[in-house]
Amino acid sequence: MSHKSPQPLVSYKSGALSGDIVPPGDKSISHRAVMLGGLAEGKTSVSGLLEGEDVLCTVAALRELGATITKDPDHIWHIQGVGLGKLKAPAKILDMGNSGTAARLLMGILAGCDFTSRMTGDASLCKRPMSRVILPLTQMGASFTTTDSRMPLHLTGSSHLKPMTYRLPVASAQVKSAILLAGLSAEGITTVIESAPTRDHSENMLRHFGANVTVTKQPDGTEAVSVTGHPRLSGQNIIVPADISSAAFPLVAALLRPESRVSLRNVGINPRRAGLIESLQEMGAKITLSNRRDQGGEPVADIIAEGSALRGVTIPAERAPSMIDEYPILAVAAGCATGPTRLLGLGELRVKESDRLALIAEGLKSCGVKVEIDGDNLTIHGTGAQPVGGATIATAMDHRIAMSFLVLGGATEQPVTIDDGSFIATSFPAFVETMNGLGLKITVNR
């Protein structure tokens, strides 16, 4: 994937924010809808699909593997699946762009295919570790050729994988999902045991398409997720809710500016993804959830966020799996709060699109906020006053770091500049337009 020219952006101090928006579709659910739609028999229709670069890489990969995927004028995506075990060998290398979710989940699917695939990604993705997925998939019968367990790689699969019971060494929905997707092509039952609950979008959607997925509590308090191999998957209609990870940016932006009131509609509030809301409410945030409903197996609500005086709290490590992508924006909120906020158990942030733990700390320091890293813990010393700002933030091609510090710029005394906003399109293509429509002041830095 060719990288676009860097796009420096600058964010200026704003007044009160207001407006009513529907954030972009959930990225995790969008990936899974496209993948399972391609594996299913018959037609799947998806509305609300996130049309960001990450998901479009998944669309391109499934097309290359034989699925027919089109979009109509109403932005409803139609997928003609080929059926489990009937994907075709790709003639081209599968470029997963910046998306670790797409890469790892697709590796699980390709592990169950009787052909060899080549996979790569952008510079950021090729630095991320894939060993945590390669190890269990190899034990099931797939084989990999790679350097240092990173992309690019060659993957040779088998339609008759060995079922297994695998205990996750780290809490990871991506690893769990990859194993469950490989389990679709195994002879028998494949089980993943996780010590801490991670997002369950894969389980929900597998059931929706007709797979037999069970979840059982173990005597030691862990949870075992099992899938029965060789199910018949049937095409479905999917409505993708708005992504809480994307909603987090306008939500926090509203909290940081007095007199703000922003309404975010149709947001997914899966309990295994809603740790940010719980954490912000503990900090004193005025957040109201209304119109709660179920949409295709996922809980959804409308969220209202109002300007709030935040206070520092301690966020326990066990909450990390439910908000792993939201720590950058939570850290921004903590930098504007009164008193210290301690974020515990952040080791997983070191292997995301960047070393997010280091980038969060460096960015906040450069904006005048005192921070300390102690192992995998981060302490942010908010003073209740507006941070100084005035810095240029190195984003390391990380969309969430970029968006988080643009939100901070709306609350600092001096503008905050990011070195490159081009990667924001991976998850929130209309971010600048949306935020400026609410009252933020973001411009291209020329």
Q: Could you give the C-alpha distances from 188 to 76, 231, 403, in angstroms and in order?
A: 35, 10, 44
Q: Which of 325, 355, 398, 420 is catalytic?
A: 325
325 is catalytic: yes
> Cα–Cα distance between 288 and 119 in angstroms, integer?
43
The answer to whether the beta carbons of residues 161 and 182 sit under 8 Å apart is yes
- 77-82: strand order across its sheet: 68-71, 77-82, 41-47, 237-239
d(CA 187, CA 172): 24
Distance from CA of residue 331 to its chain's centroid? 17
Beta-strand pair 237-239/223-228: unpaired
Report the distance separating Cα 224 and Cα 214, nearest Å: 8
Contact 176, 198 (CB under 8 A): yes
Main-chain dihedrals φ then ψ at residue 214, nearest 5 degrees: -125, 150
Residues that are catalytic: 325
